[in-house]
Chain A
Amino acid sequence: MINIFEVNETNKMIEQENLDVRTITMGISLLDCIDSDLETLNKKIYDKITTCAKDLVSTGEAISMEYGIPIVNKRISVTPIALVGGAACKTKEDFVTIAETLDKAAKTVGVNFIGGYSALVSKGMTPAEKLLIESIPQALAKTERVCSSVNVGSTRTGINMDAVKLMGEIVLETAQASKDQDSLGCAKLVVFCNAPDDNPFMAGAFHGVTEADTIINVGVSGPGVVKTALEKVRGKDFETLCEMIKRTAFKVTRVGQLVAREASKRLGVKFGIVDLSLAPTPAIGDSVAEILEEIGLEHAGAPGTTAALALLNDQVKKGGVMASTAVGGLSGAFIPVSEDQGMIDAVNAGALTLEKLEAMTCVCSVGLDMIAIPGDTKASTIAGIIADEAAIGMVNQKTTAVRLIPVIGKGVGEVVEFGGLLGYAPIMPVNQFSCDAFVQRGGRIPAPIHSFKN
């Protein structure tokens, strides 16, 4: 039988070390809503979401209460809207009405974000996908809870450089459209390479076409738990360190699996995956950067950071895989700057640069995440950064993403406040040398040789 020390250990993780289930995300397919009439389409979308997810929030809260584990977010992901709206939308404004419908549905069921205002254009763009992408700035400015993502490349297809160039411009336009809120719109827009179909984390969540009609995906967290566990092995060798991370990741993931199983049972929706990510928040003691410091670095960004992050990411996966029946999504350590107090401190101390962050993304999940850059950064420069990140993803057969926030009207050294889980960030300098001619070429970067596995 469970003993008092085990019970106390679990409760200490919850109360003092910020152990929580970060999100229960319900994936909902909207493929059966497709209609050539825009009004009918919007109605079908609203009805399907509000029917499928009507009990999502209350079920999440009941599970949280019963097990005594906080479940921070309840969210929804839907089929990429470019596919759903293609038949009905003839203009950008038509697509924006769908974003507004999603926003309304999210408010009705009480979820704080809904993801899937997306287009998957890793090889080429259909006219509908291009229209959706062009509508993103307006859609994100007019809605509160809608998140958008665009997949511009993959290991199998290469990188769609036309889409990359376009996204450079769209990121800037999105920043302009929400400049009154410090360009907050860009915090809800992710550019991916190798985007996963079952990611429960925002802003990049969408419900892939390979998925069932509805599905429950769960994202666990717990950087604080790992950090505290590592305090016990200070000064010990790497084997001991790795063992400790694995054990902790196992425990954290088991809780996620339990919550996923319960939510799936109570909602009558199939369980999809548990995403084994270490997702930080701006709260003190809930930081991935602090884990890196505990491993032995003065600040995240110091020499050794990439190696430390690589081992952390790998051990989290090794510990987590055995704890769950199905693992998916992004599964790795997140390194968003604005959402992690330790990262912010590292930037302020001058230890962490954009280039070092790029190196770190080679060995962990996601990519250049929640990084504020000067508002006068050129679209082609942003496109260049996206291309670099996509190349890392393409060649390493992993997901990479870019969520940059060019803060209109602000420059290097100033601070931008997003509020809540999105945190605040010092604006980081960007390499000023031009990549105009590179980005202007257009076309597609072919898939790498090691993608030909058949």
Chain B
Amino acid sequence: MKKTIITVVGNDTVGIIAKVCTYLADNNVNILDISQTIVQGYFNMMMVTDATKCEKDNGVLAKELEDLGNQIGVVIRCQHEDIFNVMHRI
């Protein structure tokens, strides 16, 4: 299964999770895990998702999420999990 890590960082406001989740649901991306913290006043969320059923390829997903982030005023990144696995796991 190809896992995609989605991170959302920015000023906390109403409806961030709702908007991101709605987008993911619309695109058939399944959320496997969510963790969230507030770091130095910043909203900081990480989602582990399964995008295998999503018809859009990863690059398009990343671009659209980035645009969504710009609308809400947060930074959204969508990355293949392997970049984190290789860096933090031997």
Contact = CB atoms under 8 A, between A and B. Distances in A.
Interface of A: 1-4, 6-11, 62, 65-69, 251, 254-255, 257-258
A1 B45 CA distance: 15
A4 B46 contact: yes
B86 A257 contact: yes
A67 B79 contact: yes
Interface stretch (B11-19, B21-29, B58-66): B58-66
Contact of A62 (B7, B59, B82): B59
Interface in B33-63: 33, 35-37, 39, 44-46, 48, 58-59, 62-63
A62 B58 CA distance: 9
Contacts of A4: 35-37, 44-46
A21 to B, nearest CB: 11
Contacts of B79: 66-68
A66 B58 contact: yes
A318 B88 CA distance: 17
B67 interface: no
B84 A6 contact: yes
B74 interface: no
Contact of B62 (A11, A66, A258): A66
Contact of A2 (B45, B58, B85): B85
A68 B44 contact: no
A1 B34 CA distance: 12
Contact of A7 (B36, B62, B80, B84): B84
B69 to A, nearest CB: 13
A257 to B, nearest CB: 7
A114 B82 CA distance: 30
Interface core residue of B5, B85, B86 (most chain A CB under 10 Å) = B86
B46 A68 contact: no
Interface of B: 5, 7, 33, 35-37, 39, 44-46, 48, 58-59, 62-63, 77-89
A68 B35 contact: no
A4 B85 CA distance: 12
Nearest to A4: B46
13 contacts: A2-B48, A6-B87, A7-B84, A9-B88, A11-B7, A62-B59, A65-B59, A66-B58, A66-B62, A67-B79, A68-B78, A69-B83, A257-B86
A8 B35 CA distance: 12
A7 B47 CA distance: 10
A251 B87 contact: yes
Contacts of A8: 7, 39, 44, 46
Contacts of B58: 65-66
A254 B86 contact: yes
B86 A255 contact: yes
B59 A2 contact: no
A7 B35 CA distance: 11
Contacts of A62: 59
Contact of B5 (A2, A65, A255, A258): A2
B84 A2 contact: yes
Given A3-B35, A6-B88, A8-B7, A67 B80 contact: yes
A10 B89 CA distance: 13
Given A2-B81, A66-B80, 10 more contacts: A1-B33, A2-B48, A2-B85, A7-B7, A7-B46, A8-B44, A10-B88, A67-B82, A67-B83, A69-B83
A258 B82 contact: yes
B83 A10 contact: yes
Contacts of A6: 84, 87-88
Contacts of B82: 67, 258
